[in-house]
Copies of this chain bind each other. A is one copy, B any other.
Amino acid sequence: MRVDIANALAETSPVGVPREALDRLDDRVATAHETIQNGREEDAFGYASLNLPETTDPDAIRAAVAPFADATAVLTVGIGGSALGAATLATALGDDTETYFLDNVDPAHLRSLLDELPLAETAVNVVSRSGTTAETLANFLVVREEMAAAGVDWTERTLVTTGPSGNLRDLAEEYDLPALDVPTGVPGRFSALSTVGLAVPAIAGVDIEGVLAGARSAAADMTGSLFETPAYAYGATLFALDRREASVAAMMPYAESLEPFAEWFAQLWAESLGKDGLGQTPVRALGATDQHSQLQLYRAGPLDKVVTLLRPTTGPDHPIPNADLDGLDYLGGNSLRELLDAEFEATEASLAKSGQPTVTVEIERVNSESLGALLFEMEAACILAGELYDVETFTQPAVEWGKERARQLLRGESAQASDRLVVE
Protein backbone atom coordinates (compact mmCIF):
# COMPACT_ATOMS: atom_id res chain seq x y z
CA MET A 1 0.00 0.00 0.00
CA ARG A 2 0.97 3.60 -0.49
CA VAL A 3 0.47 5.83 2.54
CA ASP A 4 0.32 9.62 2.45
CA ILE A 5 0.45 11.24 5.88
CA ALA A 6 0.84 14.88 4.82
CA ASN A 7 -2.68 15.72 5.99
CA ALA A 8 -1.96 14.29 9.44
CA LEU A 9 0.86 16.74 10.10
CA ALA A 10 0.74 19.90 12.19
CA GLU A 11 1.53 21.85 9.03
CA THR A 12 -1.96 20.97 7.78
CA SER A 13 -4.03 20.42 10.92
CA PRO A 14 -4.09 22.23 14.27
CA VAL A 15 -4.33 18.81 15.93
CA GLY A 16 -1.80 17.18 13.60
CA VAL A 17 1.59 15.74 14.47
CA PRO A 18 4.61 18.03 14.27
CA ARG A 19 7.16 16.65 11.85
CA GLU A 20 9.85 16.71 14.55
CA ALA A 21 7.63 14.57 16.76
CA LEU A 22 7.44 11.99 13.97
CA ASP A 23 11.21 12.11 13.62
CA ARG A 24 11.55 11.39 17.34
CA LEU A 25 8.89 8.69 17.19
CA ASP A 26 10.90 6.97 14.48
CA ASP A 27 13.48 5.98 17.13
CA ARG A 28 10.73 4.15 19.00
CA VAL A 29 9.61 2.59 15.73
CA ALA A 30 13.11 1.21 15.21
CA THR A 31 13.06 -0.37 18.68
CA ALA A 32 9.57 -1.75 18.13
CA HIS A 33 10.64 -3.17 14.79
CA GLU A 34 13.40 -5.10 16.55
CA THR A 35 10.91 -6.50 19.04
CA ILE A 36 8.62 -7.48 16.19
CA GLN A 37 11.42 -9.10 14.20
CA ASN A 38 12.62 -11.02 17.24
CA GLY A 39 9.08 -12.16 17.91
CA ARG A 40 8.78 -13.34 14.33
CA GLU A 41 12.05 -15.22 14.48
CA GLU A 42 10.95 -17.03 17.63
CA ASP A 43 7.46 -17.55 16.22
CA ALA A 44 6.29 -16.01 19.50
CA PHE A 45 2.59 -15.72 20.33
CA GLY A 46 0.98 -13.05 18.17
CA TYR A 47 4.10 -12.06 16.29
CA ALA A 48 3.78 -15.42 14.55
CA SER A 49 0.88 -13.83 12.65
CA LEU A 50 3.37 -11.95 10.52
CA ASN A 51 4.95 -15.26 9.47
CA LEU A 52 1.70 -16.60 8.01
CA PRO A 53 2.54 -15.51 4.45
CA GLU A 54 5.46 -17.97 4.68
CA THR A 55 3.95 -20.65 6.90
CA THR A 56 0.47 -21.00 5.46
CA ASP A 57 0.27 -23.93 3.07
CA PRO A 58 -2.16 -23.09 0.27
CA ASP A 59 -1.99 -26.66 -1.04
CA ALA A 60 -3.37 -28.02 2.23
CA ILE A 61 -6.24 -25.55 1.92
CA ARG A 62 -6.86 -26.51 -1.71
CA ALA A 63 -6.92 -30.18 -0.71
CA ALA A 64 -9.35 -29.61 2.16
CA VAL A 65 -11.80 -27.66 0.02
CA ALA A 66 -11.53 -29.95 -3.02
CA PRO A 67 -14.67 -31.91 -2.04
CA PHE A 68 -16.67 -28.67 -2.33
CA ALA A 69 -15.66 -27.70 -5.85
CA ASP A 70 -19.31 -28.08 -6.90
CA ALA A 71 -20.69 -25.79 -4.18
CA THR A 72 -22.78 -22.85 -5.42
CA ALA A 73 -22.89 -21.36 -1.92
CA VAL A 74 -20.54 -21.37 1.06
CA LEU A 75 -21.70 -20.78 4.60
CA THR A 76 -19.12 -19.85 7.21
CA VAL A 77 -20.28 -20.60 10.73
CA GLY A 78 -17.92 -18.57 12.86
CA ILE A 79 -17.77 -15.24 14.65
CA GLY A 80 -15.29 -12.37 14.96
CA GLY A 81 -11.88 -13.33 13.64
CA SER A 82 -13.28 -16.64 12.43
CA ALA A 83 -15.44 -14.80 9.88
CA LEU A 84 -14.13 -11.31 9.09
CA GLY A 85 -10.92 -12.20 7.23
CA ALA A 86 -12.71 -14.68 5.00
CA ALA A 87 -15.54 -12.21 4.42
CA THR A 88 -13.07 -9.49 3.44
CA LEU A 89 -11.29 -11.62 0.87
CA ALA A 90 -14.34 -13.43 -0.51
CA THR A 91 -16.32 -10.18 -0.92
CA ALA A 92 -13.51 -8.28 -2.57
CA LEU A 93 -12.19 -11.07 -4.77
CA GLY A 94 -14.70 -13.93 -4.95
CA ASP A 95 -16.47 -15.27 -8.01
CA ASP A 96 -20.19 -15.99 -8.37
CA THR A 97 -20.22 -18.47 -5.48
CA GLU A 98 -22.55 -16.97 -2.90
CA THR A 99 -20.81 -16.54 0.44
CA TYR A 100 -22.74 -16.26 3.70
CA PHE A 101 -21.42 -15.61 7.17
CA LEU A 102 -23.42 -16.85 10.13
CA ASP A 103 -21.74 -14.74 12.78
CA ASN A 104 -24.64 -13.94 15.06
CA VAL A 105 -27.25 -15.95 17.00
CA ASP A 106 -30.37 -14.16 15.87
CA PRO A 107 -33.03 -16.86 15.32
CA ALA A 108 -35.00 -14.70 12.87
CA HIS A 109 -31.92 -14.20 10.73
CA LEU A 110 -30.92 -17.84 10.90
CA ARG A 111 -34.39 -18.90 9.76
CA SER A 112 -34.39 -16.63 6.73
CA LEU A 113 -30.85 -17.64 5.87
CA LEU A 114 -31.72 -21.33 6.00
CA ASP A 115 -34.74 -20.73 3.81
CA GLU A 116 -32.55 -18.98 1.25
CA LEU A 117 -29.65 -21.44 1.12
CA PRO A 118 -29.63 -24.26 -1.46
CA LEU A 119 -28.58 -26.73 1.25
CA ALA A 120 -27.69 -29.58 -1.09
CA GLU A 121 -25.25 -27.34 -2.96
CA THR A 122 -23.89 -25.49 0.04
CA ALA A 123 -20.50 -26.02 1.64
CA VAL A 124 -20.38 -25.30 5.38
CA ASN A 125 -17.16 -24.22 7.04
CA VAL A 126 -17.51 -24.29 10.83
CA VAL A 127 -14.68 -22.34 12.42
CA SER A 128 -13.72 -22.20 16.08
CA ARG A 129 -10.26 -22.71 17.48
CA SER A 130 -11.47 -24.01 20.83
CA GLY A 131 -14.56 -25.74 19.53
CA THR A 132 -16.46 -24.16 22.41
CA THR A 133 -17.55 -20.80 20.97
CA ALA A 134 -21.19 -20.78 22.09
CA GLU A 135 -22.66 -18.87 19.14
CA THR A 136 -20.79 -20.93 16.58
CA LEU A 137 -21.58 -24.32 18.05
CA ALA A 138 -25.26 -23.46 18.62
CA ASN A 139 -25.60 -22.26 15.04
CA PHE A 140 -23.81 -25.27 13.66
CA LEU A 141 -26.08 -27.66 15.55
CA VAL A 142 -29.08 -25.97 13.96
CA VAL A 143 -27.58 -25.99 10.46
CA ARG A 144 -26.64 -29.64 10.78
CA GLU A 145 -30.14 -30.56 11.93
CA GLU A 146 -31.66 -28.55 9.10
CA MET A 147 -29.53 -30.31 6.52
CA ALA A 148 -30.49 -33.69 7.91
CA ALA A 149 -34.17 -32.71 7.84
CA ALA A 150 -33.79 -31.69 4.19
CA GLY A 151 -32.29 -35.07 3.33
CA VAL A 152 -28.82 -33.64 2.78
CA ASP A 153 -25.89 -35.64 4.14
CA TRP A 154 -24.25 -32.93 6.24
CA THR A 155 -21.09 -35.02 6.61
CA GLU A 156 -20.57 -34.58 2.87
CA ARG A 157 -21.03 -30.82 3.00
CA THR A 158 -19.05 -29.81 6.09
CA LEU A 159 -15.49 -28.60 6.52
CA VAL A 160 -14.10 -28.04 9.99
CA THR A 161 -11.45 -25.44 10.86
CA THR A 162 -10.31 -25.82 14.44
CA GLY A 163 -7.50 -26.42 16.92
CA PRO A 164 -5.83 -29.73 17.77
CA SER A 165 -8.52 -30.82 20.24
CA GLY A 166 -12.06 -30.05 21.31
CA ASN A 167 -15.61 -30.58 20.11
CA LEU A 168 -15.01 -29.76 16.47
CA ARG A 169 -11.86 -31.87 16.26
CA ASP A 170 -13.76 -34.79 17.80
CA LEU A 171 -16.58 -34.23 15.33
CA ALA A 172 -14.18 -34.23 12.38
CA GLU A 173 -12.64 -37.49 13.55
CA GLU A 174 -15.95 -39.18 14.31
CA TYR A 175 -17.45 -38.37 10.90
CA ASP A 176 -14.24 -38.28 8.87
CA LEU A 177 -14.80 -34.68 7.83
CA PRO A 178 -12.18 -32.66 5.97
CA ALA A 179 -10.47 -30.54 8.60
CA LEU A 180 -8.05 -27.63 8.59
CA ASP A 181 -5.80 -26.69 11.48
CA VAL A 182 -6.03 -23.24 12.99
CA PRO A 183 -2.42 -22.05 13.23
CA THR A 184 -0.85 -21.88 16.67
CA GLY A 185 0.29 -18.56 18.10
CA VAL A 186 -2.14 -16.52 16.01
CA PRO A 187 -5.09 -14.69 17.60
CA GLY A 188 -8.31 -14.90 15.60
CA ARG A 189 -8.21 -11.31 14.39
CA PHE A 190 -4.73 -11.91 12.94
CA SER A 191 -5.69 -15.12 11.12
CA ALA A 192 -6.91 -13.76 7.78
CA LEU A 193 -3.80 -15.05 6.00
CA SER A 194 -4.16 -18.56 7.44
CA THR A 195 -6.51 -21.50 6.93
CA VAL A 196 -9.11 -19.48 8.85
CA GLY A 197 -9.25 -16.66 6.35
CA LEU A 198 -8.38 -18.47 3.15
CA ALA A 199 -10.48 -21.65 2.98
CA VAL A 200 -13.77 -20.01 2.05
CA PRO A 201 -12.15 -17.62 -0.44
CA ALA A 202 -10.51 -20.67 -2.03
CA ILE A 203 -13.94 -22.24 -2.55
CA ALA A 204 -15.14 -18.91 -3.96
CA GLY A 205 -12.46 -18.87 -6.62
CA VAL A 206 -10.00 -16.51 -4.98
CA ASP A 207 -6.35 -16.78 -5.96
CA ILE A 208 -5.17 -17.46 -2.40
CA GLU A 209 -1.63 -18.06 -3.64
CA GLY A 210 -1.69 -14.49 -4.97
CA VAL A 211 -3.00 -13.21 -1.62
CA LEU A 212 -0.07 -14.87 0.16
CA ALA A 213 2.41 -13.64 -2.45
CA GLY A 214 1.19 -10.07 -2.00
CA ALA A 215 1.61 -10.39 1.75
CA ARG A 216 5.12 -11.86 1.36
CA SER A 217 6.12 -9.01 -0.88
CA ALA A 218 4.94 -6.47 1.71
CA ALA A 219 6.77 -8.39 4.45
CA ALA A 220 10.00 -8.30 2.48
CA ASP A 221 9.94 -4.50 2.26
CA MET A 222 9.82 -3.77 5.98
CA THR A 223 12.58 -1.75 7.58
CA GLY A 224 12.87 -0.14 11.00
CA SER A 225 11.71 3.29 9.84
CA LEU A 226 8.23 4.68 9.49
CA PHE A 227 9.48 6.83 6.63
CA GLU A 228 10.30 3.71 4.60
CA THR A 229 7.64 1.23 5.63
CA PRO A 230 4.00 2.03 4.79
CA ALA A 231 2.65 -0.19 7.58
CA TYR A 232 4.72 1.65 10.16
CA ALA A 233 3.89 5.05 8.69
CA TYR A 234 0.24 4.16 9.15
CA GLY A 235 0.49 2.67 12.65
CA ALA A 236 2.81 5.34 14.00
CA THR A 237 0.71 8.18 12.59
CA LEU A 238 -2.54 6.87 14.06
CA PHE A 239 -0.79 6.37 17.42
CA ALA A 240 0.71 9.85 17.36
CA LEU A 241 -2.63 11.42 16.49
CA ASP A 242 -4.37 9.51 19.30
CA ARG A 243 -1.76 10.84 21.78
CA ARG A 244 -3.00 14.26 20.69
CA GLU A 245 -6.74 14.48 19.93
CA ALA A 246 -7.77 11.69 17.57
CA SER A 247 -9.66 9.25 19.77
CA VAL A 248 -11.66 8.10 16.73
CA ALA A 249 -10.16 6.28 13.73
CA ALA A 250 -12.58 6.20 10.79
CA MET A 251 -11.77 3.76 7.99
CA MET A 252 -13.43 4.90 4.76
CA PRO A 253 -12.73 2.78 1.69
CA TYR A 254 -13.91 4.16 -1.64
CA ALA A 255 -14.89 0.75 -2.98
CA GLU A 256 -18.11 -1.04 -2.16
CA SER A 257 -16.34 -4.41 -2.15
CA LEU A 258 -14.00 -3.25 0.62
CA GLU A 259 -16.80 -2.63 3.11
CA PRO A 260 -16.01 -5.89 4.94
CA PHE A 261 -12.37 -4.80 5.04
CA ALA A 262 -13.44 -1.84 7.16
CA GLU A 263 -15.20 -4.26 9.52
CA TRP A 264 -12.13 -6.46 9.66
CA PHE A 265 -9.99 -3.41 10.44
CA ALA A 266 -12.40 -2.33 13.17
CA GLN A 267 -12.01 -5.64 14.97
CA LEU A 268 -8.24 -5.62 14.54
CA TRP A 269 -7.85 -2.11 15.89
CA ALA A 270 -10.42 -2.28 18.70
CA GLU A 271 -9.62 -5.67 20.13
CA SER A 272 -5.84 -5.32 19.86
CA LEU A 273 -5.40 -1.80 21.21
CA GLY A 274 -8.49 -1.25 23.36
CA LYS A 275 -7.02 -1.98 26.78
CA ASP A 276 -5.57 -0.34 29.91
CA GLY A 277 -7.80 2.67 29.28
CA LEU A 278 -6.21 3.20 25.86
CA GLY A 279 -7.25 2.60 22.27
CA GLN A 280 -8.89 4.52 19.45
CA THR A 281 -12.49 3.82 18.54
CA PRO A 282 -12.59 2.49 14.99
CA VAL A 283 -15.49 3.65 12.84
CA ARG A 284 -16.49 1.84 9.68
CA ALA A 285 -17.39 4.23 6.90
CA LEU A 286 -17.81 3.94 3.14
CA GLY A 287 -17.03 6.38 0.37
CA ALA A 288 -18.71 8.06 -1.40
CA THR A 289 -21.90 6.98 0.43
CA ASP A 290 -20.96 8.35 3.84
CA GLN A 291 -20.21 11.77 2.39
CA HIS A 292 -24.00 12.00 2.60
CA SER A 293 -24.04 10.77 6.19
CA GLN A 294 -20.84 11.27 8.20
CA LEU A 295 -18.93 13.99 6.35
CA GLN A 296 -20.82 16.88 7.95
CA LEU A 297 -19.61 15.64 11.35
CA TYR A 298 -16.09 14.92 10.16
CA ARG A 299 -15.75 18.46 8.79
CA ALA A 300 -17.67 20.54 11.30
CA GLY A 301 -17.64 18.44 14.46
CA PRO A 302 -14.84 18.11 17.04
CA LEU A 303 -11.30 17.67 15.64
CA ASP A 304 -11.03 14.36 17.49
CA LYS A 305 -10.71 12.00 14.54
CA VAL A 306 -8.34 10.62 11.98
CA VAL A 307 -10.08 9.60 8.79
CA THR A 308 -8.35 7.01 6.61
CA LEU A 309 -9.34 7.51 2.98
CA LEU A 310 -8.59 4.27 1.14
CA ARG A 311 -8.90 3.70 -2.57
CA PRO A 312 -7.79 1.48 -5.41
CA THR A 313 -6.17 3.74 -8.00
CA THR A 314 -7.38 1.62 -10.91
CA GLY A 315 -10.38 -0.61 -11.53
CA PRO A 316 -13.35 -1.32 -13.77
CA ASP A 317 -15.16 1.71 -15.13
CA HIS A 318 -18.43 2.64 -16.78
CA PRO A 319 -19.25 5.76 -18.78
CA ILE A 320 -22.01 8.05 -17.59
CA PRO A 321 -24.51 8.23 -20.47
CA ASN A 322 -25.05 11.67 -21.89
CA ALA A 323 -28.27 13.41 -21.00
CA ASP A 324 -29.44 16.96 -21.02
CA LEU A 325 -29.74 17.50 -17.29
CA ASP A 326 -30.10 20.82 -15.61
CA GLY A 327 -27.16 21.69 -13.37
CA LEU A 328 -25.31 18.48 -14.17
CA ASP A 329 -23.38 19.59 -17.25
CA TYR A 330 -20.13 18.79 -15.43
CA LEU A 331 -20.96 15.06 -15.55
CA GLY A 332 -20.87 15.11 -19.34
CA GLY A 333 -18.15 12.96 -20.85
CA ASN A 334 -17.06 11.66 -17.48
CA SER A 335 -17.23 8.10 -16.14
CA LEU A 336 -18.42 6.69 -12.84
CA ARG A 337 -14.82 6.15 -11.72
CA GLU A 338 -13.94 9.72 -12.58
CA LEU A 339 -16.90 10.83 -10.48
CA LEU A 340 -15.83 8.59 -7.61
CA ASP A 341 -12.22 9.76 -7.84
CA ALA A 342 -13.31 13.39 -7.91
CA GLU A 343 -15.37 12.80 -4.78
CA PHE A 344 -12.42 11.10 -3.10
CA GLU A 345 -10.07 13.96 -3.86
CA ALA A 346 -12.65 16.58 -2.96
CA THR A 347 -13.31 14.89 0.38
CA GLU A 348 -9.59 14.65 1.09
CA ALA A 349 -9.20 18.36 0.36
CA SER A 350 -12.31 19.35 2.28
CA LEU A 351 -11.18 17.51 5.41
CA ALA A 352 -7.72 19.06 5.13
CA LYS A 353 -9.34 22.48 4.87
CA SER A 354 -11.40 21.84 8.00
CA GLY A 355 -8.33 20.72 9.96
CA GLN A 356 -9.50 17.15 10.54
CA PRO A 357 -6.46 14.90 10.09
CA THR A 358 -6.60 12.30 7.35
CA VAL A 359 -4.33 9.56 6.05
CA THR A 360 -4.62 8.51 2.43
CA VAL A 361 -4.01 4.86 1.65
CA GLU A 362 -3.89 3.72 -1.95
CA ILE A 363 -3.69 0.24 -3.39
CA GLU A 364 -3.17 -0.34 -7.06
CA ARG A 365 -6.32 -2.35 -7.67
CA VAL A 366 -8.71 -4.65 -5.82
CA ASN A 367 -6.85 -7.87 -6.62
CA SER A 368 -5.36 -10.76 -4.69
CA GLU A 369 -1.83 -9.36 -4.38
CA SER A 370 -2.98 -5.93 -3.24
CA LEU A 371 -5.43 -7.34 -0.71
CA GLY A 372 -2.87 -9.75 0.70
CA ALA A 373 -0.43 -6.90 1.13
CA LEU A 374 -3.10 -4.62 2.61
CA LEU A 375 -4.18 -7.12 5.26
CA PHE A 376 -0.58 -7.92 6.17
CA GLU A 377 0.40 -4.27 6.40
CA MET A 378 -2.60 -3.31 8.51
CA GLU A 379 -1.74 -6.15 10.90
CA ALA A 380 1.86 -4.93 11.06
CA ALA A 381 0.59 -1.38 11.61
CA CYS A 382 -1.56 -2.60 14.48
CA ILE A 383 1.27 -4.59 16.07
CA LEU A 384 3.53 -1.56 15.83
CA ALA A 385 0.86 0.61 17.44
CA GLY A 386 0.53 -1.96 20.22
CA GLU A 387 4.27 -1.67 20.89
CA LEU A 388 4.02 2.13 20.96
CA TYR A 389 1.01 2.06 23.30
CA ASP A 390 2.81 -0.65 25.30
CA VAL A 391 -0.29 -2.84 25.60
CA GLU A 392 -0.74 -6.58 25.21
CA THR A 393 -1.78 -6.51 21.57
CA PHE A 394 -2.61 -10.18 21.23
CA THR A 395 -5.03 -10.84 24.10
CA GLN A 396 -8.64 -9.81 24.75
CA PRO A 397 -9.14 -10.36 28.49
CA ALA A 398 -12.02 -7.91 28.92
CA VAL A 399 -14.53 -10.06 27.09
CA GLU A 400 -14.24 -12.98 29.52
CA TRP A 401 -16.38 -11.46 32.27
CA GLY A 402 -19.39 -11.20 29.98
CA LYS A 403 -18.96 -14.72 28.63
CA GLU A 404 -19.00 -16.13 32.15
CA ARG A 405 -22.05 -14.04 33.05
CA ALA A 406 -23.89 -15.30 29.95
CA ARG A 407 -23.10 -18.89 30.92
CA GLN A 408 -24.45 -18.24 34.42
CA LEU A 409 -27.63 -16.77 33.01
CA LEU A 410 -28.15 -19.75 30.71
CA ARG A 411 -27.62 -22.12 33.62
CA GLY A 412 -30.45 -20.33 35.38
CA GLU A 413 -28.23 -18.77 38.01
CA SER A 414 -29.92 -15.46 38.68
CA ALA A 415 -27.78 -12.39 38.52
CA GLN A 416 -27.94 -9.67 41.13
CA ALA A 417 -30.76 -7.34 40.17
CA SER A 418 -29.39 -4.05 38.91
CA ASP A 419 -30.83 -0.59 39.33
CA ARG A 420 -33.28 0.64 36.71
CA LEU A 421 -34.44 4.08 35.64
CA VAL A 422 -37.04 3.30 33.03
CA VAL A 423 -38.94 5.78 30.85
CA GLU A 424 -41.72 4.25 28.76
Report the separation of the CA atoms of residues A53 and B247 in the bound assembly, to the nearest whole angstrom. Answer: 38
The answer to whether A339 and B405 touch across the interface, beta carbons within 8 angstroms, is no
Known: A134-B328, A167-B328, A338-B410. A289 touches B418 (CB 8 A): no
A316-B107 in contact (CB<8A):
yes
B-contact bits for A370-413, CB 8 A (1 contact / 0 none): 00000000000000000000000000111101110111011100
A217 at the interface (CB under 8 A from B): no
- Verify B288–A271 contact, CB threshold 8 A: no
Q: How far is the CB of A226 from chain B (nearest CB, A)?
A: 7
Q: How far is the CA of A238 from the CA of B12 in the complex (A)?
A: 32
- CB within 8 A of A350: which of B5, B352, B405? B405
A399 lies within 8 A of B167 (CB): no
In the assembled complex, A59 has its CB within 8 A of some CB on chain B = no
Bound form: Cα–Cα A109–B289 in Å = 13
Contact A345 B415 (CB under 8 A): yes
Residues of B near A5 (CB, < 8 A) are 421, 423
A420 touches B6 (CB 8 A): yes
A275 and B293 contact, CB distance less than 8 A = no
Is the pair B318, A352 in contact by a Cβ cutoff of 8 Å? no
Is A151 in the interface zone, CB < 8 Å from B?
A: no
A419 to B289, CA, bound (A): 26
Query: Considering only CB atoms, which chain B residue lies closest to A80 in the complex?
Result: B292
Encode A266-303 as 1/0 by CB contact (under 8 A) with B: 11001101111111011110111101111111111111
Whether A274 lies near B298 (C-beta < 8 A) is yes
Indicate if A335 sits at the interface (CB-CB under 8 A): yes
A104 cross-chain contacts in B, Cβ below 8 A: 256, 286-289
Output the least CB separation between A119 and chain B (Å): 16
Min CB gap A372→B, angstroms? 16
Which residue of the partner chain B has the closest CB to A423?
A: B233
**Interface pair A343/B401, CB less than 8 Å apart:** no
Stretch at the interface among A37-45, A137-145, A207-215: A137-145
Bound: A232/B423 CA distance, A:
9
| CB <8 Å contact, B352 and A292 | no
Tell me whether B419 and A318 are in contact (CB under 8 A): no
Would B423 and A111 count as touching, CB distance under 8 A?
A: no
A342: interface (CB < 8 Å): yes
With known contacts A142-B336, A401-B353, A328–B137 Cβ distance under 8 A: yes
A184 to chain B, nearest CB (A): 20
Tell me the A325-377 residues at the B interface (CB within 8 Å). Answer: 325-328, 330-331, 334-343, 345-350, 352-354, 366
List B contacts of A327 (CB < 8 A). 132, 167
List of B residues within 8 angstroms of A317 by Cβ: 107
Give chain B residues whose Cβ lies under 8 Å from the Cβ of A296: 270-271, 274-275, 396-399
Q: Which chain B positions have C-beta within 8 A of A345? A: 405-406, 409, 415
Interface string of A70-111 (1 = CB under 8 A from B): 000000000111001000000000000000000111111111
Cβ–Cβ contact B257 & A402, under 8 A: no
Most interface-central of A79, A142, A298, A418 (chain B CB within 10 A): A418
Residue ID in chain B nearest A167 by CB atoms: B325
Interface string of A116-152 (1 = CB under 8 A from B): 0000000000000001101101110110110000000
C-alpha spacing A407/B232, complex, angstroms: 35
Whether B230 and A424, one on each chain, are in contact in the complex, defined by CB atoms closer than 8 angstroms, is yes
Contacts of A61 in B (CB 8 A): none
| Residue contacts A-B, CB under 8 angstroms, 18 given | A4-B422, A9-B419, A79-B288, A79-B289, A107-B315, A108-B255, A108-B316, A138-B320, A139-B336, A167-B326, A229-B423, A230-B423, A230-B424, A233-B423, A279-B302, A281-B297, A343-B406, A345-B415
Beyond the given pairs A104-B286, A227-B423, 6 more chain A to chain B contacts, judged by CB atoms under 8 angstroms and listed by A's residue number, are A105-B339, A134-B331, A139-B336, A270-B294, A273-B301, A277-B300
Closest 7 CB pairs of A and B: A274-B297, A80-B292, A109-B256, A350-B402, A274-B301, A346-B405, A267-B293
